[in-house]
Amino acid sequence: MRRTLSACLVTLLLLAGCTGNERAEVLTHPQPLPSYTDGIRINAWFSQTSGNYHEGGGIDQLLVDDIESAESEILLAIYAITNDRLRDALIQAHERGVDVQIVTDDGEYEDEDMKRLRQSGIVVHHDDDRYALMHDKFLVIDDRVVWSGSCNYTYYAFYRNNENLVKITSQKIAAVYKVEFEELLQRRYIENPFISETIEIYFSPEDNFKQRLLQLIAGAKERIDFLAFAFTDEAIAKALIAKKEAGVSVRGVIDEKQNSYQKYSEYAYLKSQGIEVYLDANPFTLHDKVMIIDDTVVTGSYNFTQKANDTNNENSIVVHNGAFAQKYLSEFEKIFTLARSAGKE
């Protein structure tokens, strides 16, 4: 069963990427969000990769601001949290009467910040599954605002790694994520993706997002650009190679450390088949999980691995809009240019 919206054309407005000196201007002078007939608004930001994170002012402040404005409920599904500003904002929300609930991976449940959250009285759940990761990264506030993307709630996610953070303002989308949160608590997963003309939401393992991703790749007409923390799924690699052989431009960047760690990384195979793919030049981590397919953006917590599709809890966002895609393409070009210049093999 699929949730559907009436078809409508939406022009999505995206705030400028947050890297380097652009960050302060973006956070100080945000552009107003437009109103849509279907009630959906979406924006995205990109992490900075330098600066003193103890001083704050990065895109984690956007999350803190929304947590501080919460009036009734905060639902957080997060793999890891070590950012004390976000931790303290959640505790303060709880102390002023907001219902704060968190679900995390069982491997992270005993970490210090999770303990501090529990000690404050916040209810923290875990997946109780040592064979799978509760790898989601989403936040639902007051049945209206959803934050997702690649970021765990760590300092490095916002101040060192290459990451993206997405905000969706919509009661309809918030309801979708709230249902998923309840499924995480119950450990019962029901296939139920959300699909409209401009945005699609999928959850793993129940929605078989890999099948949809392969459809999107197969439909590419001009270009596919990707940023990957982990890439071990051979079927996705073969789909990209097939599009390259059909004349579509295919380029990518894969995290260097994860490539060296993963026994089944597809980096060497992609390169051997003529894909223009490089290892990243960030001395920390390229943690994005992004594909830009013509005017469509795929993002979220889903790495390009079989485990992401079949085992882990993940969430994936698909946005069909040229302006949105252009913002991600600009971020891709920065990362791609640095990786190509570094020339790592």
* Beta pairing, strands 41-46 & 164-169: antiparallel
Residue of 130 and 38 predicted with greater confidence = 130
The pLDDT of 290-304, averaged and rounded, is 98
137: left (phi over 0), alpha (psi -120 to 50) or beta: beta
Single-letter code of the amino acid located at 313: N
Per the listing, tokens 């002078």 go with 29
Q: Is the pLDDT reported for residue 335 higher than 90?
A: yes
| Residues sharing a CB contact under 8 Å with residue 190, sequence separation 6 or more, in sequence order | 183, 206
Q: How confident is the model at residue 155 (pLDDT cuts 50, 70, 90)?
A: very high
Statement: residue 331 has pLDDT above 70? yes
What residues are labeled active site? 287, 289, 294
Distance CA 42, CA 166 (A): 7
pLDDT at position 128 is: 95
pLDDT of residue 343: 86
State what percent of residues in the chain have pLDDT above 90: 82
| Per-residue pLDDT at 19 exceeds 70 | no
Q: What is the pLDDT of residue 285?
A: 98
Look at strands 314-320 and 41-46 and give their pairing: unpaired
3-class SS string, 126-191: ECCCCCCCECCEEEEECCCEEEEECCCECHHHHHCCECEEEEEECHHHHHHHHHHHHHHHHCCCCC
What's the mean pLDDT when you consider all of the chain? 90
| pLDDT band per the 50, 70, 90 thresholds, residue 52 | confident
Res. 151: pLDDT tops 60: yes
Question: Each residue of 187-198: pLDDT tens digit?
Answer: 999 998 999 888
Tokens of 38: 């279907």
Q: What is the mean pLDDT of residues 52-60?
A: 87
Question: Hey, what amino acid is at 83?
Answer: N
Structure confidence at residue 45 (pLDDT)? 96
What pLDDT is attached to residue 225? 98
Structural domains of the chain sorted by starting position, each given as residue range(s) with its CATH number in brackets: 11-188 (3.30.870.10), 204-342 (3.30.870.10)
Q: What is the mean pLDDT of residues 72-81?
A: 98
Is residue 22 pLDDT above 70, yes or no?
A: no
Q: Assign 205 to helix, strand or coil.
A: coil
Write out pLDDT tens, residues 229-259: 999 999 999 999 999 999 999 999 999 999 9
pLDDT at 119: 98
Per residue in 103-150, pLDDT tens?
999 999 999 999 999 999 999 999 999 999 999 999 999 999 999 999
pLDDT at 4: 41
Cα angle value 157/159/162 (rounded, 5°): 60
Q: What is the pLDDT of residue 38?
A: 63
When mean pLDDT is compared across 49-53, 90-94, 303-307, 311-315, the lowest value belongs to 49-53
Residue 152 has pLDDT above 80, yes or no: yes
- What pLDDT, on the 0 to 100 scale, is given for residue 14? 34
